[in-house]
Homo-oligomer: A and B are copies of this chain.
Amino acid sequence: MLSAEIIAIGSELLTPRFIDTNSIYLTEQLNAIGIPVVTKSIVGDDENYLEHAIRASLQRTPILITTGGLGPTEDDVTRKVLARLLQRQLILNNEVLAKIESRFKARGVAMPSNNARQALVLAGSDILPNNHGTAPGLWISHEKNHIVLLPGPPSELKPMFEQACLPRLQELAGGVVLARSVYRTTGLAESTLDARIAPIYTKYKNPETTILAKPGAVDVRLTARAKTRQEAEMLLKELGGQIDESLDDFIFARSEQSIEEVVGMLLVLKNATIAVAESCTGGLVSELLTNVAGSSAYFMSGVVVYSNESKMELTGIPPLLLEMQGAVSAEVARGLADGIRERARTTIGVGITGIAGPAGGSPEKPVGTVHIAVAAPAGTQHRQFLFPGDRLRVRRQAAQAALDQVRRLLLAM
């Protein structure tokens, strides 16, 4: 079976503040065509360490992908080290040089002489064009090895890899095709969701199922591999259909959409508007809703009613109610939702009140207690939650639950 190794080159990657995201991306892409990554390394801009690392890789793994070290400065040593190691000449490629010069020209600057270095290519290598930067990539086939040199900036590496490398690697890998699908859910804990669908997905080795929990949402991802796209899609459909049925309306998206995007889409679809009165979430629900481009079409107003006075003044909650029930209560959540809906004259009103912590909890109303109400033409629905975790997590889960309650209501409208 074909396998690959990745060497990321750059001294900055050896400092604690940097994460080598390229290798994560490349691993995902390689795995997708059935090529496992057996070793990943990071070396600095140091000729000796790099030579050592490349030599070791060539001995054990058929495919080596390097990232970085193709820049115009003395520090960028990848080409030089490989030329020495493989005993190949570095040749100035005039076509590449002309392309680099024209890139600078287009920006109205003369090419610094340093950049000519980027037009040096190893004899007998294939040039991988760079449409988003100056340094071209190189594909070198050497004895049993394939060595692929990619530039470091992700904006240059990704299109180059997908256009010039992926098809070639796929051919080497024997034409494995991969298809993926995702089911984004909210409202079920990871363990509950897993218990529900494990009896289904454990029957299948292909597609592979992974479950990923995020704050307030759990994603189910399927990856199918087959010889043809059609076959892969069919495998996905068979298992996906069963998972879809099992998780039903806990699924808020069957693509990479966020719940606020789904809610926005449904609001547009139903020609509805929305306003939010939130206490413990402190503006998060409004912030999420208005983060979606075009949200001014349906989001009218939001109020963050932290003090009791603001609850009374901005949503018309009666003082007596606050006193009798306390600010964190079903009645106040309903009052917030009804009040903001009436005042903003929207189709839907959302009311949220709760205790995010760390202070403010009591035996009757512990930290994490949240009341969410959604008011709509047909009436007002209320739900009570007890969310685990710290202030940040309670706020996030509450916001996600509120958006989900709105989503369910819109679906039923």
B-binding residues in A (CB < 8 A): 14-17, 19, 24-25, 27-28, 31, 36-44, 46, 48-49, 52-53, 56, 59-60, 210, 212, 275-276, 281-287, 289-291, 293-296, 299-307, 309-310, 313-314, 343-345, 357-360, 391-392, 395
> CB < 8 Å: which of B14, B38, B281, B391 contacts A14?
B38
Which residues of B sit under 8 angstroms from A314, Cβ to Cβ?
A: 301, 303, 314
State A37–B212 Cα separation when bound (angstroms): 32
Return 29 A-B CB contacts under 8 Å, by A number. Answer: A14-B36, A14-B40, A17-B210, A38-B44, A39-B43, A40-B41, A48-B60, A281-B287, A282-B287, A282-B289, A282-B302, A283-B290, A283-B304, A287-B287, A293-B357, A293-B358, A293-B359, A293-B391, A294-B359, A296-B360, A300-B309, A301-B304, A301-B306, A301-B313, A302-B303, A303-B303, A313-B343, A313-B344, A314-B314
Which residues of B sit under 8 angstroms from A38, Cβ to Cβ?
A: 14, 43-44, 46, 49
Contact between B41 and A41, CB atoms less than 8 A apart: yes
In the A-B complex, the 4 residue pairs with the closest CB atoms: A282-B290, A283-B286, A302-B304, A301-B310
Contact between A306 and B310, CB atoms less than 8 A apart: no
Which residues of B sit under 8 angstroms from A313, Cβ to Cβ?
A: 301, 343-344
Q: Which residue of B lies closest to A50 (CB)?
A: B39
Contact between A310 and B392, CB atoms less than 8 A apart: no
State A40–B23 Cα separation when bound (angstroms): 13
Q: How far is the CB of A72 from chain B (nearest CB, A)?
A: 21
Interface secondary structure of A, over-half rule: mixed
State A197–B212 Cα separation when bound (angstroms): 44
Q: How far is the CB of A268 from chain B (nearest CB, A)?
A: 14
